[in-house]
Structure 1
Amino acid sequence: MKLSELLRDVTPVVIQGDNSIEISGISYDSRKVQKNFIFVCIKGDTVNGNDFIFEAINNGAIAIITDENLPPKIENVTFVKVNDSKIALASISSLFYNEPSKEIGLVGVTGTNGKTTVIHYIGDVLEAYGNPTGLIGTLGYEFKNKQINIERINPTTPESLELQTLFRNFIDYGAKNVVMEVTSSALYKNRVDFCDFNVGVFTNLSQDHLEIHGTMENYKNEKLKLFRKCALGVINLDDKFSKEIIEKATCRILTYGIDKEADIKASKIRYDNDSVTFIVGLKGISKEITINIPGKFTVYNTLATIGACYGLGLEINEILNLVSTIKNVPGRLELVNNNSNKNVIIDYAHTPDALEKLLMMARQITKGKIIVVFGCGGDRDKSKRGIMGMAAGVLSDYTIITSDNPRTENPLDIIEDIEEGMNVIKANHEKIIDRKKAIERGLSLLKDDDLLVIAGKGHEDYQIIGNTKIHFDDREIVQALLG
């Protein structure tokens, strides 16, 4: 494809050189540049691509896109200065792969909690309906049993180049839909620009990622962007931010909820130890459904799923018949099977709101005491630590504060930040820095009707200590200790 064609939706500030050259590939990593590639200089948290322009040229780049001042002219290399390299990368990546998001039903799910669960629920229903569906999110890139050989640069929403590559790969494999998590960071950093979303889903909004956005107002405004990029917004009407999102969205709106009179409403909810049953009402149709996953948030996640599938054009009765195919998601409210018949749940809850809802659900299904093992991540929003400590203290009978992913922070400092919240309410707790020993201690306290909740890491099979990632899986620890 010619460079001029790739620049169709980019307004260059300056073009220095020939824009009719043929481009064979795109990269923003100079080490991956090959012959006749464009190298796009983007700035990361620690690395600036502009520092690697000459390395890229040595590796074969014949065009450079940058939002900084151009270097001296180099023979046979075209330089393009733009206002924002991230936006340019998203645009040219989409065009290079022939705008793949226009060929599929694309669903983006945003919110503080529930994104991973909702994309998997939607995927389950769409697959049961007969629509092959690719998933992009925290658990990786998934499409049937296909091997997706695309490096994961970001933990949840890929950089725009990888994202457009994924779309094209999924389509080549036969996907009719793609369902993806859309993080506030991805919206802030233009990773999902030039994506043609059919449906955007809003789950909820509570405190998180303030180390990136600074304030809740900024965080909320990033989430809002999705509903200016999609054709239909499926919005949780029970969330306090829903009114503002609806008012500022440019898309059509479909609401869901339990407490308010939403378009898709759940009523007559019955909670059991391993399931939840409720009546769904939508467009004059009413049907009782049972999901074999407990908890109030299962109801919300199911309603979001129904809305997204309806927005993709599935017939409502078919959707309501197929929601029974929804399966539990690894590391999300996962009951750990063990030979000792102990009640142990692992969950990814790592925000105050998620931990609170998790423990409220645990209280509904537990006859005995609730024991919690959790910590908070290092180099992340410190202000939520004490709040999570208070939530655990109020809603559990005993808490063991431990390490999560301390990263470059002192684990004890993080634990003491959490403990400040617990001390406010004089909650019963202890501190064990070693996460394995903390889990072992929690298991030792369990009696027959008690429940141990191990929160914060869920599906993760590692700990990040300093700058080193080591293997660590809460599930494996429990099963090794209990058999």
Structure 2
Amino acid sequence: AMLREMVAAGCDYAVLESTSHALSARWNRLGGAQFDVAVLTNVTHEHLDFHGSVEQYRRDKARLFEMLGEGDGRWRMGDGISIPHPPSPIPARKSRKVAIVNADDPNHQMFLDAAPASATRLTYGIARPADVRAHDVQASQHGLRFRVETPWGERALNLKLTGDFNVSNALAALTVGLAEGVPLEAAATALEAIPGVRGRMERIEQGQPFTVLVDYAHTPGAFEKLMGIVRPLTSGQLIAVFGSAGERDREKRAIQGAVAARFCDLAVLTDEDPRLEDRDAIIAKIAAGVAANQVAGKPCPALSIPDRAAAIRAAFERAGPGDIVLLLGKGHEACIIYGTEKVPWDEASAAREALRAMGYGSSPQRHGDTEGLGL
């Protein structure tokens, strides 16, 4: 219905996050969709409860690239096999299809191989050779600076976004724009105008002597990236508040704890979305990962506080000048799922409320502003 409304409103493009669940044969919620551009950001340790294995997870995600070849009456299976399927009742608007992947992800070739032979293939990256590549990346308190080389020319970019992962995200968006005919200067100017993203390295500032960052990171890989960026910037403690989703990948829980133990000085374990699972059992799995992966000379105790608001308050009460408190896993999401009920939740608002209760006033801050962090 939304896509129909977009067409009626005169929209020319729809940017659709296509989840591995929706792409899987089990759900097939995107069956019949005719994509013109497919983009891979990365493959992480996630959703194995649904897909069963990392390999199946990759194959289900690769369906997005296979679907670039659909609309000609055949299904592409990614391993050279194609079988007939009923033609779509909607004619394809564009004959040119584009497959775009992150060359820094070790799985990227699998996704390029899944695309039809006729598709244009483009890569982006930082560490490895790519069609669109960032060089001389510099992170500062003002954001990110780097030089980008593309088949369409070169340009220096100065982004307000923070975190090295946003270099890759910017390159992905830039590659899509360039592939669709947007001039390099126009695409770069648009990227430079982005102030930040809600729930992604979002700083909560109310005059407290420690830094509070809200981020959606909820996988071991995302923890590694985020904590690896923030740890060197911490003059005091690094404190993380996080949980793990119920009825989802159970294997990642202990791994999340292990990553936190390596980087953090305190882990406050709490609810994310328990659903119908035992909330205490979920937290116990994470705590076991923390306990089993202590670093010599840098203990990381774990507090288990299922109530998320109480966990945030506890983290703040233990934070002091120079500390950084990470609130991870909820980001922009508007609820916490208990059983089958969605309970309204706003992480940033909960953080501000906890700070007010500690006597810190309100001071507006734009999304993604990390001034004073040394980023």
Task: Tell me the equivalent position of 2:72.
Answer: none
Q: 2:41 aligns with which of 195, 203, 222?
A: 203
Counterparts of 1:321 and 1:309 in 2: how far apart (Å)?
Answer: 12
Counterparts of 2:5 and 2:336 in 1: how far apart (Å)?
Answer: 31
Q: Secondary structure at the match of 1:359?
A: helix
Q: Does residue 299 of the first structure (1) align with residue 167 of the second (2)?
A: yes
Instruction: Name the TM-score, length of structure 1 as normaliser.
Output: 0.64
Q: Does residue 234 of the first structure (1) align with residue 100 of the second (2)?
A: yes
1:388-467 to 2 correspondences below 5 Å:
388-426=256-294, 427-467=300-340
- Where relative contact order (Cα < 8 A, 6+ residues apart) is larger, the structure is 2
Counterparts of 2:180 and 2:57 in 1: how far apart (Å)?
Answer: 28
Aligned partner letter, 1:182:
S
Counterparts of 2:209 and 2:198 in 1: how far apart (Å)?
Answer: 20
1:322-401 to 2 correspondences below 5 Å:
322-340=190-208, 342-401=210-269
Instruction: Name the TM-score, length of structure 2 as normaliser.
Output: 0.82
Aligned 8 A contact 2:254 2:288 in 1: yes
Aligned 8 A contact 2:199 2:216 in 1: yes
Shift in Å at residue 469 of structure 1? 2.1
- Segments of 5+ residues of structure 1 without an aligned counterpart are 1-164
1:124-143 to 2 correspondences below 5 Å:
none
Q: 2:111 aligns with which of 237, 245, 253?
A: 245
Shift in Å at residue 409 of structure 1? 1.1
Q: 2:22 aligns with which of 163, 166, 186?
A: 186
Counterparts of 2:174 and 2:61 in 1: how far apart (Å)?
Answer: 21
Pair 425,394 (structure 1): closer, same or farther in 2 beyond 3 Å: same
Counterparts of 1:420 and 1:442 in 2: how far apart (Å)?
Answer: 20
Aligned 8 A contact 2:209 2:322 in 1: no
Aligned 8 A contact 2:67 2:115 in 1: no
Shift in Å at residue 166 of structure 1? 1.6
Which structure has the highest helix share of the two?
A: 1
Aligned partner letter, 2:325:
L
Q: Secondary structure at the match of 1:482?
A: helix
- More off after superposition, 386-395 vs 429-438: 429-438
Pair 406,274 (structure 1): closer, same or farther in 2 beyond 3 Å: farther
Shift in Å at residue 464 of structure 1? 1.5
- More off after superposition, 397-406 vs 356-365: 356-365
Shift in Å at residue 193 of structure 1? 2.4
Counterparts of 2:209 and 2:307 in 1: how far apart (Å)?
Answer: 25
Runs of 4+ that moved beyond 6 A: none
Q: Secondary structure at the match of 1:220?
A: helix
Q: Secondary structure at the match of 2:100?
A: strand
Task: Tell me the equivalent position of 2:354.
Answer: 481
Shift in Å at residue 393 of structure 1? 1.1
Counterparts of 1:447 and 1:280 in 2: how far apart (Å)?
Answer: 39
Identity %: 32
1:55-134 to 2 correspondences below 5 Å:
none
Aligned partner letter, 1:316:
L
Task: Tell me the equivalent position of 1:312.
Answer: 180
Supply the RMSD in Å over aligned alpha carbons: 1.5
The structure with more radius of gyration? 1
Counterparts of 1:470 and 1:185 in 2: how far apart (Å)?
Answer: 23
Aligned 8 A contact 1:336 1:479 in 2: yes
Counterparts of 1:345 and 1:391 in 2: how far apart (Å)?
Answer: 18
1:158-177 to 2 correspondences below 5 Å:
165-177=1-13
Aligned 8 A contact 1:272 1:365 in 2: no
Q: 2:145 aligns with which of 271, 277, 290?
A: 277
Q: Secondary structure at the match of 2:59?
A: helix
Shift in Å at residue 350 of structure 1? 1.2
Task: Tell me the equivalent position of 2:62.
Answer: 224
Shift in Å at residue 375 of structure 1? 0.3
Q: Secondary structure at the match of 1:459?
A: coil
Q: Secondary structure at the match of 2:105?
A: coil
Pair 276,443 (structure 1): closer, same or farther in 2 beyond 3 Å: same
Counterparts of 2:171 and 2:152 in 1: how far apart (Å)?
Answer: 15
Shift in Å at residue 405 of structure 1? 1.1
Q: Secondary structure at the match of 1:185?
A: helix
